[in-house]
Chains A and B, each alone.
Chain A
Amino acid sequence: MTKLTINGIERVSDAPEDTPLLWVIREELGLTGTKFGCGAAQCGACTVLIEGIASFSCITPVGSVGDSEVTTIEGLSPDGSHPLQRAWVAEQVPQCGYCQSGQIMRAAGLLAATPQPDRETIRSVMSANLCRCGTYPRIFRAVERASREV
């Protein structure tokens, strides 16, 4: 049994400790906004914040999380009103949308560390996350828009 703090709420998981946090979040706890894309730290669809740092939940064993605070897309704001989420809507970023929870969480990690990133920093940090629909140009603009607000 593992105790977790997810989006400020204490949760308990029955999963073996080597189970990736991703599967616990999604299938055991039902927070399906965090996606499975590769299972190998390659695509970022599974990105969550762990103690505010964008992390690949697909390679994070649930047993390693300990007391760290985990934030998923569902916990970023109560009603989709985080500046990044509003910017994502304003720039009409998503196409299929599958990668976008991860993109937004990656961007949240970036803005937490660097509130006013330049375009090159955005490009380089966001390169951890893949978008097959090719929404990258809009992602850049949305991060810049949000950075003007936070």
Chain B
Amino acid sequence: MALNDMTLTRREMLKGAGGLLFVVGAGGLASVADAGGETARATDALAWVRIDPEGAIRILFPATEMGQGSSTALPLILAEELDADWDDVVIEQLNRDDRRFGNPAFGNVLYTAGSSAVYGYFDALRQAGADARAVLMQRAAALWQLPVSELRTEPSAVVHDPSGRRAAYGTLANGAGPLAIGDRPAPLKDPADYRLIGSATPRRDVPGKTDGTETFAIDVRVPGMLYASVLRAPVEGETLVSMDTAEARAAAGVVEVVSLPDGVAVVAETPWAARRGRDRLSVTWTETAAARDWSDAAALEVYAAAAEDLTSESAVWRVEGDAAAAIAAADRTMSATYRSDYAYHAQMEPMAVVADVAEDGSRAEVWAGTQTQSWTQRTIAEVLGIGADAVTLHMMPMGGGFGRRTALTQEYVRDALLCSRATGRPVKAIWTREDDLKHGWFRPAAAQHLRAGLNAQGGLSGWQHRVATPSVIAYFNPLRWQQVAPQDIISMRGAESKFYAIPDFAAEHVITERMARVIPWRGIGAAYTSFAAEAFVDELAEAAGRDPFAFRARLMSENPRGRHLLERVRAMSDWDRRHPGTGRGLAFAGYGDTMAAGVAEISLDRDSGVIRVLSFWAAVDAGLLVSPGNARAQVEGGIVFGVSSALRERVTIERGQVQQENFYDYEILRADAVPDIDVYFATGTHRPTQVGEAGTPMVAAAIANAFHDLTGRRLRHMPFTPERVREALGA
């Protein structure tokens, strides 16, 4: 494989390649090693940075790449403070669960989610770069017998202006010289001096994604490899009663049939033979699982009843003052219930993993695209009962993630391992699209009940937001749930409505029974909580007789940057100029600390009930943009994702079985339905906040509010399918 683990690099380095290795410890950069010397030999260390004598600067990428672009952005942050010439930088993927490189935003678990890579690693990477630069300057000072204070750096070189001396980083990294890191963290750049952060530096992975050379897990080929296709129990919890494998085994190319905990794999010489073999299996499953009773419609009814029953038990998500009292004391009380269905990730690369398990089961090499080195390595170790040292992992770029590849236990990895162990050969297990959808883990269905009071002046008096949905964390990561219960950020994010100042506020999680496999999905809770909250704000503004901008601005008395976004998006969308036959809707949401104001303009075919989103304007404050061009791409993509989810995406479940099969019945947005998108980014801060998911949460409410603008009717059940639209119109 082309992807080098730093440990492999180190091995070749021990042959005497020389250079400098910047070793990381628990608290960041710990020491520097002469890569050819004893120190490196003695240290089983990975490094943030390795500088080769030839001048290549190898920077570790500790997250994983699913399209969000942090494989460029993270090394860029380090390179900025190192003052590296970007052309010298080689990016190397971290391929193991080494918590010294973990994501500070997730307690140092190697976990790429929550739009957290750039903001989570921002400080650690800058400091590592600055510390490494300081070492190079000291080496130059020693070499030239000059005080370090007289030196400066320019891209990939230390310079002494008075004497005109100049030494390339590669030269300084070679041979003898000081290796010590200063006692104190090296000073960081003045942001005004940034030349990489905030620049138009292109993504490194783009050329390989235009000529077919980028290698995803599904593309990995190793000698002697077989292919597996898995017939899975149709309902969660069912197990195998009996099977007849004779026909499958007789099919051309079939090598083995392997029983799995929740399925049967046919392993064959080619992927097509595996598929044909699987079609010939005849399998009887149990029919007793509790999940046989699951249906999406029933789940939503139960959830809605729980949300509306104010006496039902709930976990406090955020509380300020006394919402119930304020609502009771208000001149007018408003309430509404919003529903949202299960949604599927539809990442374009179906699950695919290559595993090569040693014949005695003592070692494994795995190629997988997941959002976490930690949990993938853990899955491998658990399935095979081997230690982390016996695992060689290759974290492949993913054909989309969106939360699907985050779970603590990864059945797609497990299956490839079990098939390889059973056959003694490397196996590529590929899910079909139907497998990926029918056995998907979804954004949970949710019912939300909102209540608020309005006073005589049209102001808000109390806000209560009850979200009835299962705990996502309890299912997709039970270990984590032990630490955080009953606070479920995956189920609840967004319901805190933290951009508004509402004195009497309550957001509550009514933790309902899980009736599908659930997992994070782009925007996590905010994908539906912001729909409900911002659609409800629109209803309140209307009831109060106020302009939707003014009503929200009043809630942002302490949030001038938020008000700025409102003003911007009003101007961008030319809000006050109405176009006949179209509706306009506003929403203010965002993700985490990132704020986003969005305006949707829609048209409607009243006969068919089809909504078309014509334009979407967004004003976003994501703090400092490390890669502005990519940030824009992420927000654009997040908006497209949001439109797709709001208009069409719906998983239905009957008797525990997902009813959809493929893109013909789970439709995602196509090119012909994409709105014109215009994005503005606020400037003026020095810290990045979340980008990857920031575009999505505002979209559904903006569309629902535009629908009200156009028709006077409310859409309170997402997605806004043609049937629901016609129903809302009373047709």
Residue of A nearest to B227 (CB): A27
A89 touches B207 (CB 8 A): yes
- From A15, A30, A96, A122, contact of B348 by CB (8 A): A96
Residues on B with C-beta less than 8 A from A77 are 211
Q: Count contacts on B: residues with CB < 8 A to the other chain.
A: 64
A54 within 8 Å of B (CB atoms): no
Residues on A with C-beta less than 8 A from B398 are 96
Task: Determine the distance from Cα of A97 to Cα of B204 in the docked complex, in whole angstroms.
Answer: 12
- From A39, A131, A138, contact of B432 by CB (8 A): A39
Distance from B108 Cβ to chain A, minimum over Cβ atoms (Å) = 26
A38 within 8 Å of B (CB atoms): yes
Task: Determine the distance from Cα of A103 to Cα of B530 in the docked complex, in whole angstroms.
Answer: 33
Residues on B with C-beta less than 8 A from A73 are 211-212
Distance from A90 Cβ to chain B, minimum over Cβ atoms (Å) = 9
A101 touches B252 (CB 8 A): no
A147 within 8 Å of B (CB atoms): no
A95 touches B640 (CB 8 A): no
| CB-CB under 8 A for A99 and B348, given A33-B213, A73-B212, A124-B672 | yes
Residues on B with C-beta less than 8 A from A124 are 671-672
Distance from B357 Cβ to chain A, minimum over Cβ atoms (Å) = 20
**B191-228 interface (Cβ within 8 A of A):** 202-203, 205-216, 218-219, 221, 227
- From A89, A122, A129, contact of B202 by CB (8 A): A89
**B665-688 interface (Cβ within 8 A of A):** 668-672, 674, 676-677
A116 within 8 Å of B (CB atoms): no
| CB-CB under 8 A for A40 and B433, given A94-B205, A97-B205, A138-B633 | yes
Residue of B nearest to A99 (CB): B348
Residues on B with C-beta less than 8 A from A133 are 67, 348, 400, 637
Task: Determine the distance from Cα of A52 to Cα of B206 in the docked complex, in whole angstroms.
Answer: 25
Per-residue CB contact flags for chain A residues 86-102 toward chain B (1 = under 8 Å, else 0) read 00110011111111110
**A40-82 interface (Cβ within 8 A of B):** 40, 42-43, 45, 72-74, 76-77, 79-80
B227 touches A132 (CB 8 A): no
* Of B65, B252, B348, B674, most A-chain CB atoms within 10 Å: B348
B213 touches A95 (CB 8 A): no
A15 touches B272 (CB 8 A): yes
Per-residue CB contact flags for chain B residues 347-362 toward chain A (1 = under 8 Å, else 0) read 1111000000000000
A19 within 8 Å of B (CB atoms): yes
B272 touches A97 (CB 8 A): no
A123 within 8 Å of B (CB atoms): yes
Residues on B with C-beta less than 8 A from A131 are 348, 671
A40 touches B662 (CB 8 A): yes
Residue of B nearest to A72 (CB): B212
Task: Determine the distance from Cα of A42 to Cα of B662 in the docked complex, in whole angstroms.
Answer: 8
| CB-CB under 8 A for A134 and B272, given A43-B663, A95-B633, A96-B67 | no
Task: Determine the distance from Cα of A97 to Cα of B397 in the docked complex, in whole angstroms.
Answer: 9
* Of B397, B640, B671, most A-chain CB atoms within 10 Å: B671
Q: Which 3 A-B pairs have the closest CB atoms?
A: A33-B212, A98-B399, A134-B640
Other than A28-B270, A38-B662, A40-B662, give 17 A-B pairs with Cβ distance below 8 A.
Answer: A23-B271, A32-B218, A35-B348, A40-B664, A73-B212, A76-B211, A95-B69, A97-B206, A98-B349, A100-B210, A132-B345, A132-B346, A133-B348, A134-B639, A134-B640, A137-B636, A139-B671
**Which residues of A come within 8 Å of B, CB atoms?**
15-16, 19-20, 23, 26-28, 30-40, 42-43, 45, 72-74, 76-77, 79-80, 85, 88-89, 92-101, 104, 122-124, 126-127, 129-140
